Amino acid sequence: MDRITTIAEQRAWSRARTRDGRRIGFVPTMGALHEGHLSLVAQARAAGADTVVASIFVNPTQFDNPEDLAKYPRTLEDDCRQLAAAGVDAVFLPTAQEMYPDGYCTFVEVVGPLTDKLCAVARPGHFRGVATVVNKLFSIVRPDVAVFGQKDLQQVLIISRMVRDLDLGIDIVVAPTVRDADGLAMSSRNRRLSAESRAKALGLPRGLELARRAFAAGEHTSLKLCENVYDQLLVHDGVEVDYCDVVDIHGFAEADTANDRCVLAAAVFVDGVRLIDHVALSGAAIPVSVED
């Protein structure tokens, strides 16, 4: 696996593959990799990529909280070992100075219903940072297909919208959320949970599953569905629900009454660690595509 640290070198690498007629798959990450990330590599291959680039860059512009940025886990050597074992051909590892040199002042912002609720409100500026860095990474790596995890549902919807609105011509593949055996969605942040905190965090997938069951049993009032999540989590000290909302995936509007197109999405702090997860209330696969 090639390790690439400069934009010029990554451009030349990608240009050479494209000239050879290769289809480039891209998996952007912030490192601290787990099986969920490795599943994205497999999805890139399944989507027809015959060469795969991953990036590891803890993007400062998407952190609204400097302490969160400082505490973000960094495990570079282990990450590179895992990527090489997963068959990644190149890993792009830029520095913050390489990505945002002195004088940098250009940002990409998706506006409208996708960015006026949930994590966009809870983390002001977060999606502006994500859209900006993903746009930059796309223009450096020049992939044919890029893969993102469904756990970050709002992120992948925003990126799909950006790709469409800016005519970037990149296929976006959404990979299913990978969970540990206890049900917790895999996340780089999970490694910051002690055993005790992890036990509290399990209230999140449990609450989501109870909400799905309540919906199947005929409860459609969003507040009532959300109570399942609150009830599972707020019994613990050190747990705070950042948001818990029912959103119609078509149009991304908050829904007081849930329907088959709705997801229940929540973000929680468990002993200071922020976790997000969601469930499709109908139990069906969520169509992560951008509508007109």
Q: Are 133 and 59 in contact (CB under 8 A)?
A: yes
In angstroms, give the least distance from the CB of 249 to ligand PAF. Answer: 19
In this structure, what token pair is assigned to residue 276?
């997000």
Beta bridge partners of 223: none
Q: Catalytic: which of 37, 126, 220, 236?
A: 37
Could you say whether residue 276 binds ligand PAF (CB under 6 A)?
no
* Residue closer to ligand PAF (CB basis): 130 or 153: 130
H or E element in which residue 4 lies: strand 2-4
Burial 231-265 (b: 16+ CB within 10 A, else e): ebbeeeeebebbebbbbbbeebeebeebeebbbbb
Q: Considering only residues 25, 28, 94, 203, which one is a binding residue for ligand PAF as defined by CB under 6 A? A: 28
Q: Considering only residues 59, 177, 190, 197, which one is a binding residue for ligand PAF as defined by CB under 6 A? A: 59
Site track for ligand PAF across 142-181, x = CB under 6 A: ----------x--x--------------------------
Binders of ligand PAF in range 83-102 (CB under 6 A): none
Q: Considering only residues 108, 133, 146, 233, which one is a binding residue for ligand PAF as defined by CB under 6 A? A: 133
State whether the Cα torsion 33-192-75-16 is positive or negative.
positive
37 in catalytic set: yes
In this structure, what token pair is assigned to residue 174?
């959404």
* Residue closer to ligand PAF (CB basis): 80 or 134: 134
Residues whose CB falls within 8 Å of the CB of residue 153, separated by 6 or more in sequence, listed in order: 263, 265, 278, 286, 288
Q: Considering only residues 83, 134, 184, 265, which one is a binding residue for ligand PAF as defined by CB under 6 A? A: 134
Enumerate binding residues for ligand PAF (CB under 6 A): 28-30, 59, 62, 130, 133-134, 152, 155
Catalytic residue set: 37
